[in-house]
Amino acid sequence: MTEKIKIRGRQVLNGVIPISGAKNAALPLLAASLLSSEKILLKNVSPLADVGTMLSLLGEMGVRYVVTDDSPYSSTIELHADSINNFVAPYDIVKKMRATILVLGPLLSRFNECTVSLPGGCAIGLRPVNYHLGGMEALGAKISLKDGYIYAEAPRGLKGAEFEFPTVSVTGTENVMMAAVLATGKTILKNAAKEPEIVDLASCLNKMGAIISGHGSDTIEIQGVTSLHGVDYLVIADRIEAGTYAIAAGITGGRVDLIGGNFRELLPCFIDKMTQAGLIFSDIDNGIRVISSGTIHPIDIETAPFPGFPTDLQAQSMAMLCLADGTSNIYETIWENRLMHVAELSRMGAEIKVSRCDQTCVCHACVTGVEKFQGAPVFATDLRASFSLVLAALAAEGETVLDRVYHLDRGYCAVEHKFKTCGVTIERIKK
């Protein structure tokens, strides 16, 4: 039974949206539960399909957990990893969600062994994990690859070391940081990722008794400890969800109050760029107000690691820039295949030319603004692309039916509910 979403065009977003806990913070935090035998309580976890996938893997390993739904868009998860009896992350779970690779560091660190399926690529790119493995080897792990699995062991435990990431890697930094927290001695991670989700993970690990400093900068120091205790921790707001709904206000000519975090701090470059594109931002209590100026101006965007423009907001921004009063350039520098939404947006009337560029960026989209989108049957190719099509459909003339909605549910919760409270209706239909 596949689900589709039917969207009537010419809708205007106007209201207040509570932003849920960050998917890309919750996933490493859930994996971190493997590091302690005491109770881990994670609050403000968004009830997403990806969270469910990570929980199913943890459950297979012997983690006991209870999920309490606090609202349609927030849950609390209690986890106990005091009787782990299985150190294998099987392919049938890992292939569903690559971030399950994040169990590698914790299992190695606490149990000195694990077998984790290689995640393989996904729609947006090959997504290798060589930096993850290189970091583990730097800490003294023995890694071998066989039949699509990573066999990792550290019979004498992990030892602190210095490791420099060849290029910035978000989950690579998270994985090696979690491996280092129970290693003997000091670890220094260079060219580390600086994303807010890294800071959130390090803050939680420190609350569990780890000794981590420098998180948020490109050099993170971890002083190994012998064990970590339990924690009660609130997950940070999802900056990518917030940016997505800010664009919803921009593309529909509306306004929205985004509640739940310091988004000016979480989205510095995005807010600068969207201000140039004609959105008006003002700070409000525990959030930010976004108002459309009524015109969408063309801008140039180059995706980059934090604090640069988030690649996870590239597809959504492109949808809005298709309606700008001029030509915009989007340079995707992180993922080699993250322009699949172009074909679907073009079927709705967008004018976009794509070219491969030189080594500085992976692909370039030249977006010439058009008068309007035309509603059409379209399909989602990946998580963020799926929402770019929803955004285009809200502004379009006529009706759009979006297929492969499971992509959307991986990273956005309670979308119908959040839109409905802002005067926008989208209808889920089971085909």
Binding residues for ligand EPZ, rule: CB under 6 A, are 23-24, 27, 99, 125, 127-132, 167, 169-172, 311-312, 334, 383-384, 411
- Considering 114, 122, 357, 363, which one is annotated as catalytic? 122
Cis-peptide, bond into residue 307, ω within 30° of zero: yes
Q: Helix or strand or coil: residue 58? A: helix
Our CA angle for 404, 406, 412, nearest 5°, is 125
Q: Following DSSP, what letter does each residue of 256-283 receive, concatenated?
A: EEEESS-HHHH-HHHHHHHHHTTEEEEE
Q: Return the number of the residue (167 or 213) whose C-beta is nearest ligand EPZ.
A: 167
d(CA 35, CA 40): 10
User: What's the closest the beta carbon of residue 175 comes to ligand EPZ, in angstroms?
Assistant: 9
- CB closer to ligand EPZ, 131 vs 419: 131
Cα 167 to Cα 224: distance, rounded to the nearest angstrom: 24
Alpha carbons within 13 angstroms on the beta-carbon side of residue 393 total 26
- The distance of closest approach from Cβ of residue 336 to ligand EPZ in the complex, given in angstroms and rounded to an integer, is 7
β-pair type (255-259, 287-292):
antiparallel
**Identity of the residue, 131 or 253, whose beta carbon is nearer to ligand EPZ in the bound complex:** 131
Whichever of 255 and 335 has its CB closer to ligand EPZ, that residue is 335
195 vs 221, which CB is nearer to ligand EPZ? 195
User: Between β-strands 162-164 and 186-190, what pairing exists: parallel, antiparallel or unpaired?
Assistant: parallel
Least separation in angstroms between residue 248's CB and ligand EPZ is 17
For ligand EPZ, the closer CB: 193 or 259: 193
CB of 128 or CB of 268, closer to ligand EPZ? 128
Q: Which residue reads 């929803």 in tokens?
A: 390
Residue 9 CB, nearest distance to ligand EPZ (Å)?
26
Beta strands across the sheet bearing 426-430: 377-379, 399-403, 3-8, 426-430
Distance between CA atoms of 331 and 408, rounded to whole angstroms?
23
DSSP for 374-426, written as a single string = B--EEE--SHHHHHHHHHHHHHSBSEEEEE-THHHHHH--SHHHHHHTTT--E
CA nearest to 181, candidates 26, 35, 34, 24: 35
Please choose, from the candidates 178, 184, 177, 176, the residue with its C-alpha nearest in 3D space to the C-alpha of residue 156. 184
Tokens 């099987």, located at residue = 90
CB of residue 82 to ligand EPZ, shortest distance in Å: 26
What CA–CA distance (Å, rounded) separates 147 from 298? Answer: 48
Q: Cβ of 155: how many Cβ atoms within 10 Å?
A: 9
In the bound state with ligand EPZ, the residue whose beta carbon lies nearer, of 205 and 376, is 205
Give the span between the Cα atoms of 241 and 238, in whole angstroms.
Answer: 5
Instruction: State the minimum distance, in angstroms, from the CB of residue 27 to ligand EPZ.
Output: 5
Smallest gap from Cβ 293 to ligand EPZ, in A, equals 28
- In the complex, the smallest distance separating the C-beta of residue 229 from ligand EPZ, rounded to whole angstroms, is 26
Enter the tokens of residue 57.
């893997």
Residues 6+ apart with CB under 8 A from 92: none
Catalytic residue status for 122: yes
DSSP state of 159: B
* 3 state SS of 345: helix
Positions marked catalytic: 122
